Amino acid sequence: MLERRPPVSTQDRDVIIRVRGVEVGFGDRTILKGLDLDVYRGEILGFVGASGQGKSVLTRAILGLVPKRAGTIEVLGENLDGLSPSERRMMERHWGVLFQQGALFSALTVKQNVQVPMREHLNLSERLLDELAMLKIEMVGLNPDAADKLPSELSGGMIKRAALARALALDPDIVFLDEPTSGLDPIGAGDFDELIATLQRTLGLTVFMVTHDLDSLYTVCDRIAALGDGKILAEGTIEAMLASDHPWLRSYFHGKRARSVMAGGA
Amino acid sequence: MAQSTLAQEPEVTIERAGNKVTAALAGYWTAEHARKVEALVGEIAAEADRSNLILDLKGVKRLDTLGAWVLDRTRHELGEKGLASDFVNASQEQHILLNEVAYRGFQEQPQVRRSRFVDFLVDVGQTVTGAGSDLVRGVAFLGELVSAFIRVVLNPRRFRGTAVINQLEQIAYRGVPIIVLISFLVGAIVAQQGIFQLVKFGATPFVVDLIGILVMRELGVLLTSIMVAGRSGSAFTAEIGSMKMREEIDALRVMGLDPIEVLILPRILALIIGLPLLTFIASIAALLGGGVTAWIYGDISPDVFLTRLKASIAFNTFMVGIIKAPFMAMIIGIIATLEGLAVQGSAESLGRHVTSSVVKAIFMVIVLDGLFAMFFAAIRY
């Protein structure tokens, strides 16, 4: 199990994602009702909430994949609504996304998948393109011979790793992970958590992680934000979460499964 | 993102002291400046020829994996020439990054060299055996289909009437407008050309015979089959293929449901019912198109047209066309489902199989039509 890093003090840290009063809905159903959230540079933020509460919706709203009805989202100090298309393209180089199902391009090999963003955004020589793609593939713990495989030939864990390699292709500042450990066996999930922590340290990443995995929350997340009723119910360290007396948080962090994780981790 | 572009460029200052070269790096050694980074590193390597190198990272504002990789690769390449090089003044983060990215060779996958001629022969051989196995699979599948049909007949509770009706709506009902339109136009075009050619022999009225026999025997069923192969055959392949990709077919199997009974039989039954109906409608539309053109271009009034039509075609003319329709339906359905079941994991494979489903179905429809023409000629029907 990983050593937990000491929590960094909240002062003198710059906010990398600032979400203010965001409202998102579909039809006459409002999912996010004026949500506020700060993500600080260099932290791993775990984002929890019951299914259907809109965790993925918030991620997609930040990424601009679903329209919001109100509120502002600032990433790296820039209001996303005020960006011109070219500034928007610049912004997209600063984040990488790991989708829940990987979303690898099924017609391309793993290596070609990793090279897609590099080819689009960077002016690299063929040699560097190959070397960097292989480097990223190795950094996420895949065997070099996986590089020439198609996504349909990979196992679930390998797909997640390959998708992470693609998300890291441009050395982003922020990585969005949508349930990175779902569908992995506990050992694979533990390895993946460790991988995220290692990469976060070496590349200085900010990680925004939507997860249900209590192990991940305990071992790698610096801070946790809990979503409920369209708002942030609570945010803070795991200790703060445990101390909270909100009923949903209590049942989430003090439920049967949580107790067994705590017993195992302590 | 606010810094001026000048400050973001990677820079290097090279100093030589004795047999030691110090390269002081500055600025942004990141992927955005990949070409510049490579060029600068080339300069450093050239300068460091025959002397030991010190890479001073003091002024580096930002280093990413690309910068670290290129620097460490240079260090490694110099090392192979027997030259020592070292990083100094690296910050803690840069140190971690340099260690993580440490140079390693990635060996190329060996490319197997083959001659073009052999490749060509292999291609031809594969195509021939592929066509043969397609035929075998088609016949085997027909057998499965018939046995599934018999099972359903023996146990009518397993018959999926709703699915058949739903498919009939998709295949026949929703296909009517486009098929009517196309048949009407083709009928009109054939009639117009017929009139232009026949008028030279003073035989304009025979255009009615031409239209009547051609449409009833061949054009109606052929046009309909080709349209259905394009419209519904492709849809079958895509539906079944994407269900196969997402393991839905396997899910049916493990629930004790037979995919052929549940998915394929209703579709093929709907095709077999729908195609003759569409053929009839298409023939009527083509006759209408021909009639309108004959009226406009050939001065053949609707009364005359109908009287001549009655004289020129018999019931068997109509039957020749309509008998072929269920066979066309069968072959379109079998090809579409077989291609759908052959889909592998990727979206590209789905696209390839949908294409080949339509191409094969249209080809087989025309071949089958030719075989029927020979058959009817032989029995003088």
The reported pLDDT for the residue numbered B279 is 96
* Span B210-241, pLDDT tens digits: 999 999 999 999 999 999 999 999 999 999 99
Range name among A38-47, A192-201, A253-262, B30-39 with the lowest pLDDT average: A253-262
User: Is residue B241 located within the same domain as residue B340?
Assistant: yes
CA distance B51 to B294: 95
Whether residue A3 is predicted with pLDDT greater than 80 in this model: the reply is no
The answer to whether the CB atoms of B106 and A144 lie below 8 A apart is yes
* Span A35-57, pLDDT tens digits: 888 888 888 888 888 887 888 88
Our count of domains for chain A comes to: 1
In a domain, B115, yes or no: no
The 10 Å Cβ neighbour count of residue B182 is 18
Which residue on chain B is closest to A132 by alpha carbon? B66
Contact (Cβ atoms closer than 8 angstroms) between residue B326 and residue B268: no
User: Is residue B187 located within the same domain as residue B96?
Assistant: no
User: Is residue B77 located within the same domain as residue B225?
Assistant: no
Task: Using pLDDT thresholds of 50, 70 and 90, give the confidence band for residue B5.
Answer: very low
CA distance B179 to B195: 24
**Last residue of a domain, which of B82, B100, B118?**
B100
Mean pLDDT of B324-329: 95
The reported pLDDT for the residue numbered B108 is 61
Residues of chain A with Cβ-Cβ distance to B10 below 8 Å are: none
Residues of chain B with Cβ-Cβ distance to A76 below 8 Å are: 1
- Residue A137 belongs to domain with CATH number: 3.40.50.300
A106 → closest Cβ in B66, B96, B346: B346
The reported pLDDT for the residue numbered B56 is 82
User: Is residue B275 located within the same domain as residue B235?
Assistant: yes
The answer to whether the CB atoms of A134 and B97 lie below 8 A apart is no
* Span B26-43, pLDDT tens digits: 888 888 888 888 888 888
Domain that residue A171 falls in: 44-55+95-265
Task: Using pLDDT thresholds of 50, 70 and 90, give the confidence band for residue B356.
Answer: very high
Which residue on chain B is closest to A91 by alpha carbon? B1
Assign A21 to helix, strand or coil: strand
Mean pLDDT over all residues of chain A? Answer: 82
| Cα within 13 Å of Cα(B81), Cβ side | 15
In a domain, A147, yes or no: yes
**Last residue of a domain, which of B100, B121, B143?**
B100
| Most distant CA pair in chain B, distance | 112
The reported pLDDT for the residue numbered B193 is 94
In a domain, B123, yes or no: no
User: Is residue B310 located within the same domain as residue B265?
Assistant: yes
Whether residue A24 is predicted with pLDDT greater than 70 in this model: the reply is yes
CA distance B137 to B131: 10
User: Is residue B135 located within the same domain as residue B75?
Assistant: no
| Residue with the larger pLDDT of the pair B76 and B208 | B208
Query: Could you tell me if residue A95 is left (phi over 0), alpha (psi between -120 and 50 degrees) or otherwise beta?
Result: beta
Mean pLDDT of B305-322: 92
A76 → closest Cβ in B1, B70, B93: B1
* Span A121-134, pLDDT tens digits: 888 888 888 888 88
Which residue on chain A is closest to B107 by alpha carbon? A144
CA distance B233 to B354: 8
Query: Could you tell me if residue A33 is left (phi over 0), alpha (psi between -120 and 50 degrees) or otherwise beta?
Result: beta
- Residue B82 belongs to domain with CATH number: 3.30.750.24
Mean pLDDT over all residues of chain B? Answer: 87
User: Is residue B96 located within the same domain as residue B171?
Assistant: no
Using an 8 Å CB-CB cutoff, list residues of chain A that contact chain B: 76-78, 90, 106-107, 118, 122-125, 128, 130-132, 134-136, 138-139, 144, 148, 150-153, 170-171, 198, 201-204
User: Is residue B56 located within the same domain as residue B169?
Assistant: no
CA A62 vs CA A35, A47, A164, B116: distances in Å: 12, 14, 19, 52
User: CA B268, B271, B277 angle in degrees (round to 5)?
Assistant: 155
- Compute the nearest-CA separation of B265 from chain A (Å): 29
CA distance B291 to B126: 50
The tokens for B124 are 């031809």
Mean pLDDT of A87-96: 84
User: Is residue B71 located within the same domain as residue B168?
Assistant: no
Our count of domains for chain B comes to: 2
Which pairing describes strands A174-178 and A206-210: parallel, antiparallel, or unpaired?
parallel
The tokens for B259 are 């995919």
Task: Using pLDDT thresholds of 50, 70 and 90, give the confidence band for residue A63.
Answer: confident
Domain that residue B82 falls in: 5-100
In a domain, B31, yes or no: yes
Whether residue A266 is predicted with pLDDT greater than 50 in this model: the reply is no
User: Is residue B269 located within the same domain as residue B373?
Assistant: yes
In a domain, B111, yes or no: no
CA distance A168 to A93: 10
In a domain, A179, yes or no: yes
User: Is residue B22 located within the same domain as residue B134?
Assistant: no
**Last residue of a domain, which of B100, B118, B145?**
B100
Q: Exposed, middle or buried: residue B53 (CB in 10 Å: 0-12, 13-18, 19+)?
A: buried
| Residue with the larger pLDDT of the pair B16 and B146 | B146
Range name among A16-20, B8-12, B220-224 with the lowest pLDDT average: B8-12
Interface list for B 326-365 with A (CB within 8 A): 344-348
User: Is residue B343 located within the same domain as residue B277?
Assistant: yes
Query: What is the pTM (predicted TM-score) of this model?
Result: 0.69
Does the predicted interface ipTM exceed a cut of 0.90? no
